[in-house]
Structure formats: structure tokens, C-alpha cells
Amino acid sequence: MSQPVSWAFKTTGLTKVYGEGNAAVHALRGVDLEIPNGEMVVLLGASGSGKSTLLNIVGGLDRATDGTVLFQDLDLTALSDDRLTLYRRDHVGFVFQFYNLMPSLTAYENVQLVTEIAEDPMEPDEALALVGLADRAHHFPAQLSGGEQQRVAIARAIAKKPNVLFCDEPTGALDSTTGRVVLEVLRDVNERLGATLLIVTHAANTAAMADRVVHFADGQIREVVVNQTKLTPDQIEW
């Protein structure tokens, strides 16, 4: 019997090319990377460096041009579109810079959208309590601050108990005080639920709270740094 792997993702020779000929854009240029199970990992780099492209591919939202992506023992590059949809449904939670909440639904109902399709979800109230919004469950997005809306989006993402949580610039639209609150919530999700957490950002300060930092430039990994001492969100300089 094979032993369970110690990593959540492993990419080998991963490339992504948009367009053809002289207009081709090489977003990823042969990326080899292992992301250990349960870690908080920051993908750091300037706009256009390839970090969001990698996130979209390992998240099953996009396909690589070449190379392989393994999620534990599952080869994502070999899956059909239907199987990729099941992968996203059963294993992955997404948090984006802009919250993508349904404005006509309450916080509770926005979270409930996910729990209705997940196999073994937590109750919406439980997910909202985990992000500190138990008392805001019946408020509409327009009645919530930006930070509260982002926390609803996190509650929605974690309500299906994902193995992996992907966050693309989760504090990009927030001020420093609110951003620290959101980072605190993400850290708690990582520690309490054991979900592997990938955060894409161009803000170097966020990297200080991660287990490891993957530095991207020009579609390639320039450096991987393991933090021996991690800062807490309230220690981060904004």
C-alpha cells in the first residue's frame, strides 16, 4: 500500500502560454514546486509575475499549456472538465480581492449557497462564527464594512471544509486595520481547520506570517524561503 504524500501540491515543468506567435505571453515558464500539507504559503511577486496564473491552475480554474499538477495523488492535468468541477467543489475554497457576494442575500444566505452543494459542510452559522460574524448573519452586504464582507467571503469558502483555501489578494482592497483582521482570520482557519492556505499577493509584508514564501518573477520561481520565525498579523507593518 502506498504511503500518503506529505505535500498538497506538486508541479513539474508547469508552463502557461496565452496567445500564439509573436503575440504569445509566457505566464509560467517551467515551474517546479512542492507545497506541503497544512502550511500557509504566500506566493509573492509583482503584477504579471505568474503567481495568480499558478493559483488558477492548481485551483482548477485554468489549464496548463504543459507540465503536470498533482493534488496529493490526483493528477489535475489529466482530469476532464467535469472532474475538475468536482475537484473544486469537494476540495477547494476560493477567496478573491473583490468579495463576489450576492447583494440580495444576507451573509447567512451567501454562505448557505455553498453549503447546499457541498458533501459534508458546516452550518452557515458555524462558519460565520469562525470568522467573528455570528452577530452579522442576517445583514446584507451593503450593511457590512469591506472587512466584514471579506470575512463573509472567507466563511463561504471554508463552510464546505476545503482541503485547500486559495486567496488572491485578499487584503488588496482593505485598509491596514481591516487587513490585519482578515489576515488573523486566515491564520485561524489555517491553524484550526488544518487547511493548506495559499495567498497570492504583491505585498511583501504579508509574507512574514507565512510558513514559506515563494518569490515569483517573469513566470518563474526565483526563490523559496522558509520562515523560521513567523510574525502574527498584529506585528506586521502595513
Q: Which domain holds residue 66?
A: 7-235
Q: What is the CATH number of the domain that holds 212?
A: 3.40.50.300
Q: Is residue 2 part of a domain?
A: no
Q: Assess contact for 14 and 62: CB atoms under 8 A.
A: no
Q: Is residue 102 part of a domain?
A: yes
Q: For strands 196-201 and 40-44, give the pairing.
A: parallel
Q: Is residue 120 part of a domain?
A: yes
184-219 per-position pLDDT tens digit? 889 988 988 899 999 998 878 888 999 999 999 999
131-187 per-position pLDDT tens digit? 999 999 999 999 999 999 999 999 999 999 999 999 998 888 788 888 888 888 899
Q: Is residue 1 part of a domain?
A: no
Q: What phi, psi does 190 have (nearest 5°)?
A: -60, -45
pTM exceeding the 0.85 threshold for the entire prediction: yes
